[in-house]
Structure 1
Amino acid sequence: MTNMIQGAKAQVAKLTQAAYEKAAAEGLLPAGAEVRATVEIPKDTSHGDYASSFAMAGAKALHMAPRQIAQIIVDHLELEGSYFQKVEIAGPGFLNFTLGPKWYGEVLSAVETEGDRYGSGEEGRGKRVMVEFVSANPTGPMHMGNARGGVLGDTLANVLARDGWDTWKEFYVNDAGNQIHKFAVSINARYMQLLLGEDNFPFPEEGYHGDDIRELAKAIYEAHGESWGNLPEEERLDKLAEYGLSVNIPKMREDLKKYGIVYDQWFFESELHNSGYVEKTVQMLTEKGWTYEKDGALWLNTTQLLKEKFMREGKSQEQVDKLDLKDDVLRRANGFYTYFAADIAYHRNKLEVRGFDLAINIWGADHHGHVARLQAALDALGLDGSHRLVIVLMQLVNLMQDGKPVRMSKRSGKAIALHDLLDEVSVDAARYFFNSRTATSPVDFDLDLAVRQDSDNPVYYVQYAHARICSLVSRLAEEGAKVPAAAEVDASLMAAAEELALVKSLAQYPEELHLAARDYDPSRINRYLSALAGDFHRFYNACRIKGEESAVLSARLKLADTVRAVLANGLKLLGVSAPEKM
């Protein structure tokens, strides 16, 4: 797909090399020199749009002063038919290239021709990636952290797909282990309190205190009366857990669907245990010599695995020796496998059985200590976890209202649930706000700002730019001025600084998409869209469209409509609507 910025850079290098070869053929420069020049975009566009370091980089090989080389190169440049209209020498010998109408016109053509695919890349072509995100314990409602992880994971998967990857979105359901036992014990306590009275059955201090647990217990009582109270405790706990999951998991699906997230698969941890896959994975680690028994439990020699991993990554022996490394239990003395053992098995399933080239997980920052350990365990299985497993660690969300933090506590049951949030703000606002910062930065989610209908609200600001263009196109169409094809536009008429800046902003989109995919940072799309909207508003205020003579009106109308197309393109990646009226 077209990347006009990279295309211009490549053309600078090609034109400069051709000029050098022409000058060398005339005997003005030594022939056969290999010059490793850079082509950069200057911060100050008064210095040109692209700057080549050819003259400085070639000074030693060509045995000549940089400015002298630069002058010879300029004298032999052939710009006819190129993207550039002039070249000037600056400073110690920079070659500053200024873009011409051909480049600006081709940007409009690229957006028109490629449509929804504009900005797409080929970096991931032929490779499969799984993005696993949210994966909240199904023991209660999803909270604000899950809301942020949801939009980060969903948008990152969308961005990777546009960069050529074959993407797969997955939710890992932790329906086994300690947290499910605690879930069952919590429901049991509330159920027994309904039977015996709250004062006659203690609630476990470490249990889940939320109102949702009371609601589950009440629903069970209404459906089964006191009959479950007569069951043996273990059987009752199994039934309570099964019932609770049968209610909570569909609720999670519905909440996420409302939030605009639909997964390719919901993968259940219980399947790993029931199929013997966890046991087999641990057995493989034992066969490879990475486990040992102690106090009746089976341990993974994580310490040695991490030492070897960190040494491979370039840490010194001294640095590694200073680390506080510990081994991990895989199977407890009671015969039950740990969550870590199941996690290793699950990721072996991703990389070995299902054959994903890359597995990306969106995790809360509190899991940072788990990252290297899991990668090292996969390394031990020969799956190159250090490279094929990428963990994006996500910082917390601070919910703000009236300028003050809204306190949240999952333990006390006062967490702000995702479904409650979406009753307060639109899905568009929630998705845009949660994706507005890099994962490594905390997000201050301002409830008051998220519902405001003005330019201070960033999602409103971007959506308004789109709606404003739709209204403009519609009004002019009624007056007989239709959006022209790019081939019909005289790009030389786009000469105002605001017009040129806006076209350059449009050309930046493929680069931003590529960098967002490369850095696993979908928030780049938010920042890009905000900047593009700002460039459009400045253009609209500075460059009259209605009432201009026909050729100028057509060029500016096409430019505006091209912005509309790219805004809609980017908003779609974010899972945010592009309204035509506001």
Structure 2
Amino acid sequence: MTPADLAALLRGVTQTVLHERDLDAAVLPEMVTVERPRNPDHGDYATNIALQIGKRLGVAPRELAQWLAEAFAAADGIDSADVAGPGFVNLRLAAAAQNSVIATILEQAADFGRGGDLADSVVNLEFVSANPTGPIHLGGTRWAAVGDALGRVLSACGATVTREYYFNDHGGQIDRFARSLDAAARRLPTPEGGYAGEYIDDIAARIVAEVPGILALGDDERVEAFRAHGVAIMFDHIKATLHQFGTDFDVYTHENSMFERGLVEECVNELKANGNLYEADGAWWLRSTDYGDDKDRVVLKSDGDAAYIAGDIAYLKDKFDRGFNHLIYMLGADHHGYVVRLTAAAAALGYPASSVEVLIGQMVNLVKDGQPVKMSKRAGTVVTLDDLVEMVGVDAARYSLIRSSVDVNIDIDLDLLRKQSSENPVYYVQYAHARLAALGRNAADLGLSADPSAVALLTEPTEGDLIRTLGDFPAVVATAAELREPHRVCRYLEALAGTYHRFYTQCRVLPMGDEEATDVNRARLALCAAARQVLGNGLDLVGVSAPDRM
């Protein structure tokens, strides 16, 4: 019985109790809260439902808890129920009910942990979206890992997810990039505000080799040629780098296409027509303060050129026109102002502001030998996605970037990620999976197979702790999707690995020497097979490999 199964059971029993006592069952929440007590001596699970609804029913929570405890204890699968504190109910499951989760895991296999809570969500998930003026830096690398993991978690909960990359190939940064390539090719100093570094020299040299006569063109034509070829080279590099990192996108959209397809003009006309765009001081302004912004935003400047937000508005409308009902943007720490701008733009176009969600990620710092690794993109000394992977590998890089909430700055300790020890979190989790795989091979060599039907024999405390931890996985995935926090999966995997290692230390799984195999051995093998499955499922959700050997 998983926590979700138990919650459904408790809700049904509570509803029956309320009906029997002529109390209003409408106060029941959709989902009854079920948690693991910090002290296992208090039981397998606990619920605070009596505290939640007691006062609304006009019943003292502890008195209601007494009624519920009696009914819970009589329900199938529950061994005992006791009232604690002001109205908590502590529960112990019957062995068969608790251990049934093993059979469920082995039966569902790769589908264990997946659900359908978000089946009605058609999500556009935009992340990374780095300017094509250089390799992906650490901030973009964090989004490449977290965004991909979030897409996996949302899909696991039933959402239809489209991963989208928005190439910012329109505007001043691309002009500076083109002029920087032109200057590098002609061995001139980097233009003011331009880009420098070995990658600029390499791209410029490649373009000169691939486009004979480019240096003989007139100034405007030459710079335009460097822009077109340079942007294409960076696009290809970024796509290849992300693919090697395990992050692929379903759709690549070019900012320039918003203008070429006339979508910006179309949006401007629509906003003028519905009164959400007004003219003042020669410019056209979005009435964004009507929708929570701190000031109105210029969409068309007084010289007639579109402001940056014009492309964003057109792109937002384009997403809705393609059939998405929820848009998630993953942006860097310097984009806080975009949160209200985007929701205001959606509302001005007639879409629910709640259908636009902006996640803001904080900075990543690299530490080596106890010292920070300095970064400077325009100086050409930036630490890139390629650099990080070369230093620690794809698995360690992804896992270390995903395992912390995006709300906080993180320090990546390169020395730690190279260690093959329990101090290294990704190694710790992967080692647990490899250890379980080795156990399975050893059992096969002995001709010993798992027997889920014998799991009622698993009564040791560490066995119960491992079983309950395995049963928590679906709820962890659902919460990670609901809160947009894939790091919860990583933290769960670390807890599961620790729980498994403690179980393995306390409980002999395979017979020793000439000992005869028993049903306990076969039951523990089933438990280990379930643990291996859940570890593999969790690692897959964060895009990290589950090795069978290390």
Q: TM-score, normalised by structure 2?
A: 0.92
Q: How far did 1:71 drift?
A: 5.9
Q: Are positions 1:233 and 2:219 aligned together? A: yes
522, 536, 540: which one pairs with 1:572? Answer: 540
Alignment of 1:93-492 (within 5 A): 94-193=88-187, 198=188, 202-224=189-211, 227-302=213-288, 304-305=289-290, 308-309=291-292, 325-351=294-320, 353-384=321-352, 386-484=353-451, 486=452, 488-491=453-456
- Amino acid corresponding to residue 450 of structure 2 in structure 1: V
Q: How far did 1:507 drift?
A: 0.7
455, 477, 484: which one pairs with 1:520? Answer: 484
Q: How far did 1:297 drift?
A: 3.3
Give structure 2 stretches of 5+ with no counterpart: none
Q: Secondary structure at the match of 2:366?
A: strand
Question: Deviations for 1:461-488, whole angstroms, at most 9, x for unmatched residues?
Answer: 000000001101110111111122x2x2
Question: Deviations for 1:193-227, whole angstroms, at most 9, x for unmatched residues?
Answer: 2xxxx4xxx532211122211222222333446x3
Rounded Cα–Cα distance in structure 1 between residues aligned with 2:319 and 2:141: 24
Q: How far did 1:99 drift?
A: 1.0
Rounded Cα–Cα distance in structure 1 between residues aligned with 2:277 and 2:50: 60
Rounded Cα–Cα distance in structure 1 between residues aligned with 2:196 and 2:57: 77
Q: How far did 1:425 drift?
A: 1.4
- Amino acid corresponding to residue 144 of structure 2 in structure 1: G
The farther-off stretch of 400-409 and 7-16 is 7-16
Rounded Cα–Cα distance in structure 2 between residues aligned with 1:93 and 1:362: 42
Q: How far did 1:295 drift?
A: 4.7
Q: Secondary structure at the match of 2:336?
A: helix
The farther-off stretch of 181-190 and 325-334 is 325-334
Rounded Cα–Cα distance in structure 2 between residues aligned with 1:257 and 1:59: 54
Q: Secondary structure at the match of 1:292?
A: strand
Q: How far did 1:76 drift?
A: 6.2
Q: How far did 1:45 drift?
A: 2.9
Q: How far did 1:170 drift?
A: 0.8
38, 44, 52: which one pairs with 1:49? Answer: 44
Q: What corresponds to 1:546 in structure 2?
A: 510
Residues 177, 338 of structure 1: 8 Å contact kept: no
Q: How far did 1:9 drift?
A: 2.2
Tell me: CA distance 1:392–1:93, structure 2 relative to 1, closer, same or farther (3 Å): closer
Q: Secondary structure at the match of 1:348?
A: helix
Residues 12, 39 of structure 1: 8 Å contact kept: no
Cα-Cα RMSD: 2.5
Q: Secondary structure at the match of 1:244?
A: helix
Residues 429, 497 of structure 2: 8 Å contact kept: yes
Q: How far did 1:66 drift?
A: 7.0
Instruction: Calculate percent identity across the aligned residue pairs.
Output: 38
Q: How far did 1:186 drift?
A: 1.2
Question: Deviations for 1:237-287, whole angstroms, at most 9, x for unmatched residues?
Answer: 211100101211111111001001111111111211111111111121122
Residues 33, 61 of structure 1: 8 Å contact kept: no
Tell me: CA distance 1:54–1:335, structure 2 relative to 1, closer, same or farther (3 Å): closer
Rounded Cα–Cα distance in structure 1 between residues aligned with 2:287 and 2:99: 61
Rounded Cα–Cα distance in structure 1 between residues aligned with 2:123 and 2:84: 46
Q: What corresponds to 1:322 in structure 2?
A: none
The farther-off stretch of 515-524 and 267-276 is 267-276
- Amino acid corresponding to residue 4 of structure 1 in structure 2: T
Tell me: CA distance 1:76–1:346, structure 2 relative to 1, closer, same or farther (3 Å): closer
Q: TM-score, normalised by structure 1?
A: 0.87
Rounded Cα–Cα distance in structure 1 between residues aligned with 2:317 and 2:152: 24
Residues 124, 164 of structure 2: 8 Å contact kept: yes
- Amino acid corresponding to residue 382 of structure 1 in structure 2: G
Tell me: CA distance 1:92–1:248, structure 2 relative to 1, closer, same or farther (3 Å): closer
528, 531, 535: which one pairs with 1:563? Answer: 531
Question: Deviations for 1:271-317, whole angstroms, at most 9, x for unmatched residues?
Answer: 11111111111121122222333454333233x33xx437xxxxxxx
Q: How far did 1:410 drift?
A: 0.9
Residues 208, 215 of structure 2: 8 Å contact kept: no
Give structure 1 stretches of 5+ with no counterpart: 25-30, 311-324
Residues 2, 101 of structure 2: 8 Å contact kept: yes
The farther-off stretch of 340-349 and 209-218 is 209-218
Q: How far did 1:339 drift?
A: 2.0
Q: What corresponds to 1:4 in structure 2?
A: 2
Rounded Cα–Cα distance in structure 1 between residues aligned with 2:500 and 2:546: 15
Q: Secondary structure at the match of 2:117?
A: coil
Residues 348, 383 of structure 1: 8 Å contact kept: no
Report the structure number with the largest CA radius of gyration. 1
